[in-house]
């Protein structure tokens, strides 16, 4: 039996690597060279398409040809044309790692990382609000779904009406941050003691509440700072307003998008990582902090209880005083901080990109079925 031919949407590799871009990149790197699969990548973009090959790991073929995202997305909301094989050629499976999987004759798999667009539509851009109709259309024509957690798997079944047999949870992996230079981390923070928040600034991340909780904490600790590292998403005005209203705004440090080296440096020096999100389908920031051995204070919503599994402190993301108290306990109790750091490292070992790739290859094989693989 020949290798399974899989086409993967690699559009998320363009620009700064957010969670989905990191997921796509890691999976492509892991499946490259596996004899059981032959993977090619396409990008639904018009500009910069010629750069796709340079973004892919060795062994992954770049599909040539430009694809205009806006008109294609509009067409795919209404019909099953044009099919992606127009660009990819004949394949057995098409995988959309970013919620949307285009029409195809082949079997289709869509990665659904969360259902923010249903729970918190007010937190979503107009583009993201198109996902429900695109997903329901794909599900109606037999597409399979990959989710990052059992929590999201249950939601896809309950809220989107998906066939339970075609929704498969495959946890994401964690790329251990590079051994960071704590001195560089303290330099970026401007302090030896700081709480770190990682990720794109957007309403779902609940950073205004974190700023208000930090303001309470800062009243008691004249040295501690809050460092927010990540690119702008949308809803930045609410974050800026919270900082402006804070009594200790001078100790809220915004460093924006950081390199992998600086990300590792910040993790090496941070006293705690705060992830007060209203909702997470997996929680890269919390998982990455655990892998680095940094104590995690996270919301008790979404997939956090499943992923963190007792290796961090969970709090109500709407409870400003509770969030401040949780951070205070980690910063003031060295024994607790050491225990959480050790427990986090142990828990993080459950998540590897190799295991993620194994699970996805198995899912692709199930989706293709014996009848779709030609010799």
What CATH number did the domain enclosing 30 receive? 3.40.50.2000
Question: 226: part of which helix (H) or strand (E)?
Answer: strand 225-229
32 and 136: one domain? yes
29 and 109: one domain? yes
300 and 357: one domain? no
Tell me the two tokens of residue 243: 């900082």
In degrees rounded to 5, what are phi and psi of residue 35?
Answer: -70, -20
C-alpha distances in angstroms, 353 versus 166, 185, 357, 368? 22, 26, 6, 22
* pLDDT of the residue at 49: 64
Which segments within 59-178 are labelled E, that is strand?
61-62, 93-96, 107-112, 144-147, 167-169
User: 366: helix, coil or strand?
Assistant: helix
Please state whether 194 falls in left (phi above 0), alpha (psi between -120 and 50) or beta.
Answer: beta
In a domain, 292, yes or no: yes
116 and 240: one domain? no
119 and 246: one domain? no
- Separation CA 172–CA 175 (nearest Å): 10
What distance lies between CA 28 and its chain's CA centroid?
Answer: 16
In a domain, 21, yes or no: yes
In a domain, 87, yes or no: yes
249 and 278: one domain? yes
Split into its structural domains, the chain has a count of 2
308 and 333: one domain? yes
**pLDDT in 10s for each residue of the chain, 375 residues:** 789 999 999 999 998 777 899 899 999 999 999 999 999 999 998 876 678 999 999 999 999 888 888 898 889 888 889 999 999 999 999 999 999 999 999 999 999 999 989 988 887 888 889 899 999 999 999 999 999 999 999 999 999 999 999 999 999 998 777 789 999 999 999 999 999 999 889 888 999 999 999 999 999 999 999 999 998 887 899 999 999 999 999 999 999 989 889 999 999 999 999 999 999 999 989 999 999 999 999 999 999 999 999 999 999 999 999 999 999 999 999 999 999 999 999 999 999 999 999 999 999 999 999 755 443
Domain that holds residue 302: 182-348
340 and 262: one domain? yes
- Separation CA 267–CA 284 (nearest Å): 13
In a domain, 260, yes or no: yes
* pLDDT of the residue at 197: 98
19 and 33: one domain? yes
In a domain, 90, yes or no: yes
63 and 129: one domain? yes
- Separation CA 4–CA 106 (nearest Å): 11
118 and 205: one domain? no
Q: Which residue from 285, 260, 284, 282 is spatially nearest to 272, judged by alpha carbons? A: 285
Q: pTM higher than 0.85 for the full model?
A: yes
Question: 118: part of which helix (H) or strand (E)?
Answer: helix 116-119
Q: Which residue from 333, 293, 332, 325 is spatially nearest to 312, judged by alpha carbons? A: 293
- Separation CA 249–CA 117 (nearest Å): 32
Q: Which residue from 42, 65, 68 is spatially nearest to 55, judged by alpha carbons? A: 42
Could you check whether the bond before residue 82 is cis, i.e. omega within 30 degrees of 0? yes
Tell me how many degrees the CA angle 309-262-353 measures, rounded to the nearest 5. Answer: 45
- Separation CA 325–CA 21 (nearest Å): 34
């Amino acid at each position: 039996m020949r290798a399974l031919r899989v086409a993967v949407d690699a559009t998320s590799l363009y620009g700064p690597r957010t969670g989905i871009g990191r997921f796509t990149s890691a999976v492509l790197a892991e499946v490259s060279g596996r004899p059981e699969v032959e993977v090619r990548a396409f990008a639904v973009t018009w500009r910069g398409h010629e750069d796709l090959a340079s973004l892919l790991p060795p062994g992954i073929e770049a599909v040539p040809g430009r694809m205009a995202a806006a008109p294609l997305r509009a067409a795919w909301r209404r019909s099953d044309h044009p099919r992606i094989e127009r660009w990819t050629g004949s394949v057995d499976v098409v995988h959309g790692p970013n919620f949307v999987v285009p029409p195809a004759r082949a079997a289709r798999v869509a990665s659904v990382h969360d259902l923010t667009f249903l729970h918190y539509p007010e937190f979503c851009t107009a583009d993201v609000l198109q996902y429900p109709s695109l997903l329901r259309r794909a599900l109606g024509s037999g597409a399979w779904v990959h989710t990052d957690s059992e929590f999201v798997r249950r939601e896809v079944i309950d809220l989107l009406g998906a066939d339970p047999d075609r929704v498969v949870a495959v946890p994401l992996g964690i790329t251990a941050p590079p051994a960071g230079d704590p001195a560089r981390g303290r330099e970026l923070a401007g302090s030896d003691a700081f709480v770190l928040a990682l990720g794109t600034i957007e309403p779902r991340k609940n950073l205004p509440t974190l700023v208000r909780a930090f303001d309470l904490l800062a009243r008691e600790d004249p040295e501690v700072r809050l460092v927010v590292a990540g690119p702008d998403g949308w809803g930045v005005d609410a974050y800026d307003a919270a900082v402006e209203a804070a009594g200790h705004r001078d100790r809220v440090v915004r460093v924006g998008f950081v390199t992998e080296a600086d990300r590792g440096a910040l993790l090496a020096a941070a006293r705690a990582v705060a992830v007060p999100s209203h909702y997470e389908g997996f929680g890269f920031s919390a998982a990455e902090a655990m892998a680095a051995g940094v104590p995690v204070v996270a919301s008790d919503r979404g997939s956090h209880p499943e992923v963190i599994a007792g290796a961090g402190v969970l709090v109500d993301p709407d409870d400003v005083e509770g969030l401040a108290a949780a951070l205070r306990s980690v910063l003031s109790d060295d024994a607790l901080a050491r225990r959480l750091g050790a427990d986090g490292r142990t828990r993080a070992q459950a998540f590897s990109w190799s295991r993620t790739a194994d699970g996805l290859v198995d899912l692709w094989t199930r989706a293709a079925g014996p009848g779709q693989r030609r010799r």
